[in-house]
């Protein structure tokens, strides 16, 4: 049923706005001017110095947008009203403006269909299917695609913040979690992982908490500890899964720099077992084998010459 | 008739064997980590990482004990190759290993309580203990506390040079260990020097 609905949505949708070409420079000037009007209230500056009297400042405080962050985000070239609807074009906003709000799948129909299948299997769907939406994790005003951020440190910082905002805060966790579900302390449940905090700076939670079998894209099937990846060698090996995950957007531009395997990672991390130099490895292995064989050979010659000498002395 | 002469005090023997144990453990776990492969695990990665960390700290503590013990007891002097003629004596020693031993010649510079090591041993032991070991231990400690590594170096992660130095130094120690164990059979009897390392007495 759900699939049929999604299919209907796909057909009905004016083929994914998500794939729209970017606005022309003239259009962008218009969009920026219209957005500036919204931000004259919905920004820190607007909150400090409201352009109108008698505004509900408490409500305004909860709906501020940071211009630079928004501009750098995936939706940064879009008009506010594209999602928020024309009801918000004027102030005071229309009474039913909220009902006109666009949903993510209005533009991202195809993506939403694929993601929903993954999400349905996730731990979030299992426990929170009624309250959990795209927006729970993805802030449309701030998020940027990994392929756009490129720098692994930036990707990790953005993505892990999403998870940790709830999973490292009792207050935020309690807001979402089912009754009586207590937040497990994030450090304690990861204490099996050496250099825990260092891992969180270098890789994303989803590196382990999504199925690693899929090498093509990162799934929205967020898994709990029972299913999450625990084998270190999945990342820490020559055939590291990080290649297809955190570093997939950098793959094309960098391969085997200075003869290192997975050299694309070396710009931001030394990953034991993954970032190694096969030439150096081979040279050292050869040296080791030569030493062992040399020692064995020397020993054999010693045994033979000693025996020869002994039999000579007997004669 | 065998003569017995006391050569090695207890602290050196205790240090030597605990150091040997730590290095063997570190070699096995270090190889497991560096050549980590899901299909061919020598020691499972996270276990290897934990053991390697603990054994590494033990090695660092043992090394500090070794340095202090050497200073206090004056044993450090044994590691200094005594001139003149260091190179000639090294060459003489190599000649013994390369041919003399096959002809049944006697060890050219047998150990005495005053001079434990022949010139080649002194040069090698000094280099390993006072050059390679500190490098491997220090780089290992940076690995343990990577926040002390430079963030980046020439556009690459700052841990890379630390890792390379650690890997190369460890390889040198591993190669040394193989030769060291074999050269341990070069006493008057094959077992003499091993026996000495346990009892402290050199029999010849």
CB A232 within 8 A of CB B36: yes
**CA A93 from chain center: how many Å?**
35
Q: Note whether A59 and A130 are same-domain residues.
A: no
User: What is the per-residue pLDDT for A50?
Assistant: 87
- pLDDT tier, B153 (very low <50, low <70, confident <90, very high otherwise): confident
* Domain boundary residue, one of A202, A232, A255: A255
What is the C-alpha separation between B138 and B130, in angstroms, rounded? 12
Q: Above 90 in pLDDT, residue B48?
A: yes
- Residue by residue, DSSP assigns chain B as ---EEE---HHHHHHHHHHHHHHHHHHHHHHHHHT--TTS-SS-HHHHHHHHHHHHHHHHHHHHHHHHHHHHHSGGGGGSPPSSSHHHHHHHHHHHHHTGGGGTPPPSS---SS--S-HHHHHHHHHIIIIIHHHHHHHHHHHHSGGGS-SEETTEETHHHHHHHHHHHHHHHHHHHHHHHHHTT-SSSTTHHHHHHHHSEEE-
- The single residue listed with the structure tokens 């003239």 is A26
- Classify residue B176: in a domain, yes or no: yes
Q: Note whether A150 and A64 are same-domain residues.
A: no
Q: Which two tokens stand for residue A9?
A: 């949505």
Record: contact B46-A295, CB cut-off 8 A: no
Question: In terms of Cα–Cα distance, which of A296, A100, A279, A271 is closest to B45?
Answer: A271
What is the C-alpha separation between A247 and B142, in angstroms, rounded? 25
Q: What is the mean pLDDT of residues A79-92?
A: 90
- Classify residue B93: in a domain, yes or no: no
pTM for the structure as a whole: 0.86
Provide the 3-class DSSP secondary structure of residue A239.
coil
Phi, psi of A270 (to 5 degrees): -95, 115
Q: What is the CATH number of the domain that holds B9?
A: 1.20.950.20
Count, residues in chain A = 315
Tell whether B174 lies on the interface with A, counting CB pairs under 8 A. Answer: yes
Tell whether B146 lies on the interface with A, counting CB pairs under 8 A. Answer: yes
- Classify residue A307: in a domain, yes or no: no
Q: What is the mean pLDDT of residues A63-77?
A: 93
Q: Above 70 in pLDDT, residue A16?
A: no
* Domain boundary residue, one of A255, A287, A306: A255
Q: Each residue of B154-177: pLDDT tens digit?
A: 778 889 999 999 999 999 999 999
Count, residues in chain B = 204
Q: Above 90 in pLDDT, residue A92?
A: no
User: What is the per-residue pLDDT for A177?
Assistant: 86
- Classify residue B82: in a domain, yes or no: no
Q: Note whether A134 and A68 are same-domain residues.
A: no
Q: Above 90 in pLDDT, residue B8?
A: yes
- The single residue listed with the structure tokens 């690459």 is B156
Domain that holds residue B149: 4-76+127-203
Q: What is the mean pLDDT of residues A258-280?
A: 91
- Classify residue A271: in a domain, yes or no: no
Q: Above 60 in pLDDT, residue A185?
A: yes
CB A166 within 8 A of CB A172: yes
Closest Cβ opposite residue A234 in set B38, B50, B155: B38
CB A272 within 8 A of CB B164: no
User: What is the per-residue pLDDT for A257?
Assistant: 79
Record: contact A272-B163, CB cut-off 8 A: yes
Q: Note whether A127 and A248 are same-domain residues.
A: yes
Q: Above 70 in pLDDT, residue A10?
A: no
Give A234's contacts in chain B (Cβ within 8 Å).
38
User: What is the per-residue pLDDT for A179?
Assistant: 78
- Classify residue A292: in a domain, yes or no: no
User: What is the per-residue pLDDT for A312?
Assistant: 85
Q: Note whether A78 and A131 are same-domain residues.
A: no
Closest Cβ opposite residue B34 in set A231, A272, A298: A272
- pLDDT tier, A11 (very low <50, low <70, confident <90, very high otherwise): very low
What is the C-alpha separation between B125 and B118, in angstroms, rounded? 10
Q: Which residues pair with B152 in a beta bridge?
A: B157
* Residue A54 vs residue B93, higher pLDDT: B93
Burial A94-112 (b: 16+ CB within 10 A, else e): eeebeeeeeebbbbbbbbb
Question: In terms of Cα–Cα distance, which of B201, B124, B14, B93 is closest to B193?
Answer: B201
Greatest mean pLDDT among A101-115, B63-77, B146-160: B63-77
User: What is the per-residue pLDDT for A14?
Assistant: 42
Task: Compute the nearest-CA separation of A279 from chain B (Å).
Answer: 13
Question: In terms of Cα–Cα distance, which of B67, B36, B34, B33 is closest to B51?
Answer: B33
User: What is the per-residue pLDDT for B92?
Assistant: 96
Domains held by chain A: number:
2
Q: What is the mean pLDDT of residues B13-37?
A: 97
Give A198's contacts in chain B (Cβ within 8 Å).
146
Report the percent of chain B where pLDDT is more than 70: 100
Beta-carbon contacts of B88 under 8 Å, excluding residues fewer than 6 positions away, are none
Q: Each residue of A115-153: pLDDT tens digit?
A: 999 999 999 998 888 889 999 999 999 999 988 898 999
Give B185's contacts in chain A (Cβ within 8 Å).
299
- Classify residue A298: in a domain, yes or no: no
**Which of B27, B36, B163 is most worth mutating to test chain A (most A CB atoms within 10 A of its CB)?**
B36
Domains held by chain B: number:
1
What average pLDDT is seen over chain A?
A: 88
* Domain boundary residue, one of A255, A285, A302: A255
Q: Each residue of B179-196: pLDDT tens digit?
A: 999 999 998 899 999 999
User: What is the per-residue pLDDT for A15?
Assistant: 41
Cα dihedral across residues A81, A83, A87, A92: positive or negative? negative
User: What is the per-residue pLDDT for B146?
Assistant: 86
Record: contact B49-A232, CB cut-off 8 A: yes
Record: contact B35-A281, CB cut-off 8 A: yes
Domain that holds residue A212: 120-255
What is the C-alpha separation between B192 and A19, in angstroms, rounded? 80
CA distance readout (Å), A254 to A96, A237, A259, A266, B154:
52, 18, 11, 10, 16
What average pLDDT is seen over chain B?
A: 93
Question: In terms of Cα–Cα distance, which of A4, A66, A284, A304 is closest to B104?
Answer: A304
Q: Note whether A95 and A154 are same-domain residues.
A: no
Q: Note whether A130 and A60 are same-domain residues.
A: no
- pLDDT tier, A13 (very low <50, low <70, confident <90, very high otherwise): very low
What is the C-alpha separation between B12 and B18, in angstroms, rounded? 10
CB B131 within 8 A of CB B176: no
Question: Which H or E run includes A188?
Answer: helix A186-189
User: What is the per-residue pLDDT for A17?
Assistant: 54
User: What is the per-residue pLDDT for B1?
Assistant: 59
Q: What is the mean pLDDT of residues A58-70?
A: 92
Q: Is A303 exposed, middle or buried, given 0-12, 13-18 or 19+ CB atoms closer than 10 A? A: exposed
- Classify residue B166: in a domain, yes or no: yes
From the CB of residue A203, how many other CB atoms can be counted at a distance below 10 Å? 21
- Classify residue B116: in a domain, yes or no: no
- pLDDT tier, A4 (very low <50, low <70, confident <90, very high otherwise): low
Report the percent of chain A where pLDDT is more than 90: 58
Record: contact B157-A306, CB cut-off 8 A: no
Q: Note whether A248 and A134 are same-domain residues.
A: yes
User: What is the per-residue pLDDT for A188?
Assistant: 93
Nearest residue in chain B measured CA to CA from A291: B175
Q: Above 70 in pLDDT, residue A8?
A: no
CA distance readout (Å), A136 to A142, A194, A206:
13, 30, 16
């Amino acid at each position: 049923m759900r699939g049929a609905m999604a299919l209907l949505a796909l057909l009905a949708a004016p083929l994914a706005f998500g794939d729209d070409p970017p606005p022309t420079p003239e259009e962008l000037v218009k969009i920026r001017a219209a957005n500036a009007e919204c931000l004259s209230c919905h920004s820190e500056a607007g909150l400090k110095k409201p352009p109108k009297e008698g505004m509900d400042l408490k409500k305004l405080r909860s709906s501020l947008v940071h211009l630079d962050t928004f501009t750098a985000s995936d939706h940064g070239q879009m008009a506010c009203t594209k999602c928020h609807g024309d009801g918000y074009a004027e102030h005071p906003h229309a009474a039913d403006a909220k009902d006109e709000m666009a949903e993510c799948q209005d533009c991202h129909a195809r993506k939403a269909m694929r993601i929903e299948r993954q999400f349905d299997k996730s731990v979030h769907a299992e426990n929170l299917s009624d309250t959990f939406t795209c927006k729970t994790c993805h802030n449309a005003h701030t998020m940027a695609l990994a392929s756009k951020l490129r720098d692994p440190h930036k990707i990790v910082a953005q993505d892990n913040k999403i998870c940790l905002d709830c999973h490292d805060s009792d207050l935020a966790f309690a807001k979402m979690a089912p009754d009586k579900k207590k937040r497990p302390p994030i450090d304690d449940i990861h204490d099996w992982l050496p250099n825990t905090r260092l891992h969180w700076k270098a890789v994303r939670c989803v590196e382990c908490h999504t199925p690693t079998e899929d090498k093509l894209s990162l799934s929205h099937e967020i898994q709990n500890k029972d299913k999450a990846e625990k084998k270190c060698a999945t990342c820490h090996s020559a055939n590291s899964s990080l290649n297809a995950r955190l570093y997939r957007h950098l793959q094309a531009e960098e391969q085997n720099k200075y003869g290192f395997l997975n050299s694309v990672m070396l710009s931001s991390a030394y990953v034991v077992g993954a970032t190694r130099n096969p030439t150096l490895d081979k040279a050292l292995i050869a040296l080791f084998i030569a030493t062992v064989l040399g020692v064995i050979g020397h020993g054999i010659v010693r045994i033979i010459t000693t025996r020869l000498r002994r039999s000579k002395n007997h004669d | 008739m065998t003569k017995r002469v006391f050569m090695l005090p207890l602290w050196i023997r205790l240090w030597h064997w605990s150091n040997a144990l730590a290095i063997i453990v570190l070699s096995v776990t270090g190889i497991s980590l560096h050549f980590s492969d899901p299909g061919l695990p020598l020691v499972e990665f996270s276990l290897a990482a934990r053991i390697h960390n603990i054994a590494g700290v033990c090695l660092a503590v043992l090394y500090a004990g070794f340095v202090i013990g050497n200073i206090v007891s004056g044993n450090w002097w044994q590691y200094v190759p005594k001139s003149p003629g260091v190179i000639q004596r090294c060459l003489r020693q190599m000649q013994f290993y390369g041919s003399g031993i096959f002809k049944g010649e006697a060890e050219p510079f047998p150990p005495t309580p005053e001079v434990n090591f022949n010139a080649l041993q002194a040069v090698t032991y000094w280099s390993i203990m006072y050059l390679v070991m500190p490098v491997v231990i220090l780089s290992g400690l940076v690995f343990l506390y990577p926040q002390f590594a430079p963030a980046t170096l020439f556009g690459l992660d700052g841990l890379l040079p630390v890792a390379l130095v650690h890997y190369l130094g460890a390889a040198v120690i591993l190669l040394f260990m193989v030769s060291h164990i074999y050269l341990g059979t070069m006493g008057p009897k094959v077992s003499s020097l091993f026996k000495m390392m346990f009892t402290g007495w050199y029999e010849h």
